[in-house]
Every structure is written in C-alpha cells, then in structure tokens.
C-alpha cells in the first residue's frame, strides 16, 4: 500500500465510466503518446479517490507515479509548488540518471527554478543568462520526457483550482507541446465555487477550446467530469460526462 492509499481506499464504489476513460488515457500514454486529463467535479464528489485508483492502476501497469498537491495559501503563492513536490517523489537514482543526460544549461535553469531539487551538482555554478519561461518549460518537458523514456509516467496534480500561475502556465504549455513523451498528466479541479474571475478559469477554458478545436498540436487532451456525489451516495449510479480528443 503506497503512502497515499488508506484503509478507506478499499472498495471503490462505481465509477466504471470514469475508470474506463482514465485507464484508456493511461494506455494511450504508454503506447500512443502523451495526454493531459482534467478531472473536474464538486468538492467531496470523489476526484481524489478516483485519482488514487488510477495511480494504483498505473503502478500495476509498471508506470512511475508522482503526485503534487496544490494548496490554498492565505497570501502569495509558491511558483511550481506542486510540480516540485511531484518531482521530489522521484526515485533518487532515476532522478540522477535523467538529470545527468540534460544539457548543463537546462540543469542550471531548473536548479534555479526548483531550489532544493538535485538538478545541479554543487560544483556547477548557477549563474547564467536568464531564460524565458518558455525555455524553462522546454527544459522541464525535456526532463519529464527523460523520466518517461524508459518507464511511462503518470503525474497527478491535485486541486489545480489552487495552482500557482507558473504551474497553470506549464499545464497549458504541456497541452500544446507534448509530442512523444510517454506521459499522462492528471489534474483534478474542484469546479464548484469557481467565480468568473477565478485565475484558473482561463487555463480551463483554453484547454477546453484546444480540445474542441483541434488535437493536432496536442498529444491528447481529455476532460473527464465526475458526476453525482458518489462519495455521499455510494450506492447510486454515477453520471459522468467524458470527452476525449484523439491524437
Ligand atoms: N467511488 C467511491 N467509492 C468509495 N468511496 C469513495 C468514492 N469516491 C469517494 N469516496 C470517499 O468519499 C470521500 C470524499 O472523496 P474525495 O475523493 O476526497 O473527494 P474530492 O477529492 O472530490 O473532494 C473520501 O473519503 C473518499 O474515500
Ligand atoms: Mg480531493
């Protein structure tokens, strides 16, 4: 049992449609190419439980699973907080092997953006030209691609309604730039109580428009919506709307 699983995780009730959709996203990531899944639903409806089930199934398939949780802060934000937390879960040997393969410029830039993570060695100076956010995102994608080169990867980002601006931007970047990585990104989103001005709205709307417009520039963007309050009424059939865009 992984640290995220608990005794309450025994006996997932229902959710067959969502499980089918999400496991097919895992299969796609393993065989066809990357995908980004946004799992939306009201608070308490069962998003995290479903995400844990999918992570468990991913591990059964031999995938590496990483998770970072977005947290609601009373003020300010921590850039890349959930991504840093997810990367921190990576096995140290795998981390070292993948980092070793990165160009020195990538290692320096990632070390600056992710203080505390072993992107750069002690002897490696961190000085260098400031890169644009797009360049940093490119290095980060190269890193994730490196992790997934031998073993497919599931990265779960929980509660993106609280994601910092850098993480939101990176998710959008991924949706446009992922190509051949064996990577599935699963983001959960508490979709009730999102005001019109909520900062996560533009990201969600852009992801939705990419999905409906064309998947040509996107590995695959899938939006899976959790339906009825399964957690509160585990005996009831869940309703679900699932949209998937082929590659
Ligand atoms: N399909 C399910 N079967 C059994 N228990 C569930 C199911 N979905 C949710 N639960 C339980 O209901 C509670 C709330 O679910 P959670 O996944 O935390 O909701 P959310 O992340 O959407 O806020 C948790 O205790 C969870 O284990
Ligand atoms: Mg949750």
pLDDT value of position 222? 64
Q: Which ligand is nearest to the CA of 231?
A: 1
pLDDT value of position 206? 85
Per-residue pLDDT tens over the stretch 170-194: 999 998 888 889 999 999 998 887 8
**Ligand 1 centroid vs 115 CA: distance in angstroms?**
34
**Ligand 2 centroid vs 170 CA: distance in angstroms?**
21
Residues 134-144 have a mean pLDDT of: 95
**Ligand 2 centroid vs 39 CA: distance in angstroms?**
10
**Ligand 2 centroid vs 44 CA: distance in angstroms?**
7
Say if residue 9's pLDDT is above 80.
no
CA angle 22, 145, 176 (to 5 degrees): 65
Q: Which ligand is nearest to the CA of 46?
A: 1
Among 19-23, 135-139, 179-183, 199-203, the range with the most confident prediction by mean pLDDT is 135-139
From the alpha carbon of 41, which atom of ligand 1 is closest?
22
Q: Is the minimum distance from the CB of 32 to ligand 1 under 6 angstroms?
A: no
Instruction: Output the residue whose Cα is nearest ligand 1's atom 26.
Output: 49
Residues 12-38 have a mean pLDDT of: 86
Say if residue 20's pLDDT is above 60.
yes
pTM over 0.75: yes
Instruction: Output the residue whose Cα is nearest ligand 1's atom 7.
Output: 231
Report percent pLDDT > 70 for the chain: 77
Q: Could you tell me the residue ranges of all domains in the chain?
A: 14-46+67-181+200-227+240-244
Specify the higher pLDDT residue, 68 or 42.
68
Q: Is the minimum distance from the CB of 20 to ligand 1 under 6 angstroms?
A: no
**Ligand 1 centroid vs 47 CA: distance in angstroms?**
7
């Amino acid at each position: 049992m992984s640290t995220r699983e608990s005794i309450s995780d025994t006996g997932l009730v229902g959710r067959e449609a969502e499980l089918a959709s999400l496991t097919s996203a895992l299969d796609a990531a393993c065989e066809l190419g990357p995908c980004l899944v946004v799992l939306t639903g009201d608070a308490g409806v069962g998003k995290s439980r479903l995400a844990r089930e999918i992570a468990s199934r991913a591990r059964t398939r031999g995938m590496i699973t990483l998770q970072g949780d977005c947290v609601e802060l009373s003020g300010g934000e921590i850039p890349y907080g959930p991504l840093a937390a997810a990367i921190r879960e990576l096995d140290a040997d795998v981390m070292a092997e993948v980092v070793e393969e990165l160009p020195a410029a990538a290692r320096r830039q990632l070390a600056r953006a992710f203080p505390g993570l072993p992107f750069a060695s002690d002897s490696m100076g961190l000085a260098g030209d400031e890169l644009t956010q797009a360049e940093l995102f490119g290095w980060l994608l190269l890193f994730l691609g490196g992790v997934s080169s031998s073993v497919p990867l599931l990265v779960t980002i929980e509660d993106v309604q609280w994601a910092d601006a850098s993480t939101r931007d990176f998710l959008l970047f991924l949706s446009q730039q992922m190509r051949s990585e064996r990577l599935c990104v699963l983001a959960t989103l508490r979709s009730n109580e999102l005001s019109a001005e909520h900062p996560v709205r533009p990201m969600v709307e852009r992801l939705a428009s990419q999905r409906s417009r064309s998947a040509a520039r996107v590995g695959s963007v899938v939006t899976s919506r959790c339906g009825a309050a399964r957690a509160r009424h585990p005996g009831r059939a869940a309703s679900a709307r699932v949209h998937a865009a082929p590659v």
